[in-house]
Chains A and B, each alone.
Chain A
């Protein structure tokens, strides 16, 4: 039997669900997983029929992090390249056009925590556990956490999580702003699908523009104005903006097509 170590991709209407399925290693982001995750993300991102991507993990856990078995035999150049290559999925997630919802049960540790934080909206089960576990094996945070985490929590909390590898459960994560929504245990994916439906029905060009602006953070005031004045005129001329104006006056829900 071929070794099962993959990412399961399913489609529910305009929502693509990417489920990391490497349960024997608690969904560790191994080379094999990344080799499937990156093209799956790219394909979903490029499919204009996909209006929202949900990322989750099989077997009631999100992802326990990097592939620790690789770390023992490393050179600086090799280590640097492995970490550098994570931008293959981080750029797709953070600079892509399609909104991404993470559904987190169980562990979101290390690079798995980084993966969750690169989503636009995070649903956490109450008993989910978030931890930048890197320090426990003498490493610094990667997976974009130096950039993503301080945008979600204050610098004090960010430093504690990144420097002391403090574990934060789902309830605390919601309070701190690490998660945007709390779900009962085993219900994170259901809740994420509901939220994904809301993202999927939002005007796609506007959503893509907003994602693009956030990806350029930090912005100073001049840059923010430049983005507005460059992008808004095009959006005003879009079919979707016309449809929204029609629906507004007809008191109907608009039907956006991303055009």
Chain B
């Protein structure tokens, strides 16, 4: 494999796994190879107890320009269906992950790149980042969960403009409308994403697994969520981490959580 082949690399930095999309010939376009590599890493991370949070970013100066159009030529309807089903596996590997995910976006998060970023719990965008559901430009609709994730972050009106008009959203605008949570200087999105991932890694993991699972079921009714919090909290009250949390609270020091 040459360094220009599409892939996703993984590096660990303490308790944080950094996944980097690399498809340099096509601005990190989302080829089947990239998708498969991402799912593979997510599956490995799921069982790696040393990892507490995940950062997803793009190699070079861009996040991902979207689906790889060169791999969509002459696709039959059923080949397309298989592709969407494979996309679903990737969406679920991130959405159902029990570890929090931060996206660091420089340059383009277009099409499937936008969908990928929106699967993250927290998105850091560099000032010159831009976001676009560019699907319509090639006669397609949004996919990879975009119809579900986007309206959880922006208003119904804005979601329509983004999905139906393929409007390009700048980083500043993205922050204002809630599409991203944080802005960085150009070239600094990864640094700031690492800081947020570090905060997530230091947080108590067990309650966050339950919280992430509960919020992953949205939309939900009041009583579903009240039942969820009662069941979950009952279990957590007796965890070693709650004992540590209470001890640190009364001793006025920082807690050290073990995930037990």
Q: Is the CB of A77 within 8 A of B234?
A: yes
A74-B203 Cα distance, complex, nearest whole Å: 22
B68 CB–A CB distance under 8 Å: no
- CB-CB contacts below 8 Å: A168-223 with B: 215-218
A155 CB–B CB distance under 8 Å: yes
A76 CB–B CB distance under 8 Å: yes
Which of A137, A153, A160 has the most chain B CB atoms closer than 10 A to its own CB?
Answer: A137
B156 CB–A CB distance under 8 Å: no
8 A-B pairs in the complex with CB atoms less than 8 angstroms apart? A135-B207, A138-B255, A142-B230, A147-B220, A155-B215, A156-B180, A164-B196, A215-B222
Q: Is the CB of B222 within 8 A of A147?
A: yes
A76-B235 Cα distance, complex, nearest whole Å: 5
Q: Nearest-CB distance from B218 to chain A (Å)?
A: 6
Q: Is the CB of B220 within 8 A of A139?
A: no
Q: Is the CB of B199 within 8 A of A146?
A: no
Which of B121, B233, B248 has the most chain A CB atoms closer than 10 A to its own CB?
Answer: B233
Q: Which A residues are closer than 8 A to B by beta carbons? A: 68, 71-72, 74-81, 83-84, 86-87, 90, 94, 134-147, 150, 153-160, 162-165, 215-218
Q: A74-B238, A76-B235, A138-B207 are in contact. Are A216 and B123 (CB under 8 A)?
A: no
B239 CB contact (under 8 Å) in A84, A135, A138, A142: A138
Q: Interface of chain B, helix or strand or loop or mixed?
A: helix
Cβ of A146: which chain B residues have Cβ within 8 Å of it?
211, 214-215, 220, 225, 228-229
Q: Which B residues are closer than 8 A to A by beta carbons? A: 100, 120-123, 149, 152-154, 178, 180-181, 196, 199-200, 203-204, 206-208, 210-212, 214-215, 218-223, 225-239, 241-246, 248-249, 255, 257
A150-B248 Cα distance, complex, nearest whole Å: 29
Q: Nearest-CB distance from B80 to chain A (Å)?
A: 28
Q: Nearest-CB distance from A24 to chain B (Å)?
A: 16
Cβ of B230: which chain A residues have Cβ within 8 Å of it?
80-81, 83-84, 142
A157-B153 Cα distance, complex, nearest whole Å: 9
Q: Is the CB of B215 within 8 A of A150?
A: yes
Q: Is the CB of A90 within 8 A of B234?
A: no
Q: Nearest-CB distance from B193 to chain A (Å)?
A: 13
Q: Is the CB of B203 within 8 A of A135?
A: yes
Cβ of B123: which chain A residues have Cβ within 8 Å of it?
156
Q: Is the CB of A163 within 8 A of B208?
A: yes
Cβ of A135: which chain B residues have Cβ within 8 Å of it?
203-204, 207-208
Cβ of A79: which chain B residues have Cβ within 8 Å of it?
233-238
Q: A75-B238, A83-B230, A163-B212 are in contact. Are A150 and B218 (CB under 8 A)?
A: yes
Q: Nearest-CB distance from B224 to chain A (Å)?
A: 8
Cβ of A84: which chain B residues have Cβ within 8 Å of it?
226-227, 230
Q: A84-B226, A162-B215 are in contact. Are A71 and B242 (CB under 8 A)?
A: yes
Cβ of A163: which chain B residues have Cβ within 8 Å of it?
100, 121, 200, 203, 208, 211-212
A136-B218 Cα distance, complex, nearest whole Å: 24
A162-B221 Cα distance, complex, nearest whole Å: 18
Lowest 9 A-B CB distances belong to which pairs? A80-B234, A137-B245, A218-B219, A79-B237, A138-B241, A138-B242, A140-B207, A154-B178, A138-B245
Of chain B, the residue at the smallest CB distance from A166 is B199
Q: Is the CB of B221 within 8 A of A216?
A: yes
Q: Is the CB of A155 within 8 A of B211?
A: no
Q: A140-B229, A141-B229 are in contact. Are A165 and B203 (CB under 8 A)?
A: yes
Q: Is the CB of A137 within 8 A of B212?
A: no
B152 CB contact (under 8 Å) in A86, A137, A150: A150
Q: Is the CB of B238 within 8 A of A138?
A: no
